[in-house]
Amino acid sequence: MLASIAAQCADRDMIRYLLDGGPYIVSTLRGLRDDQLHGLWRPEWTPVPSALLDALSATKGPTLI
């Protein structure tokens, strides 16, 4: 579901909404980026532009360990 929301935000240039989702959302988005980079993206997930996930991963936003 988060991939679908991220794709919609990417279409509308609304990156801030994702970052404002808090540390769990940001951490999960970073996980999606890792899945994308390692070929683990599931076919049923909505495609998300890699540039968006790269930009979100490069932010200094909150993270979870």
pLDDT in tens, 6-46: 999 999 988 888 988 888 888 999 999 999 999 999 999 99
Question: Can you give the pLDDT at residue 19?
Answer: 86
pLDDT value at position 63?
A: 53
pLDDT at residue 59 tops 90: no
User: Which residues are CB-neighbours of 3 under 8 A, at least 6 positions away?
Assistant: 32, 45, 46, 47, 48
CA distance 18 to 7: 11
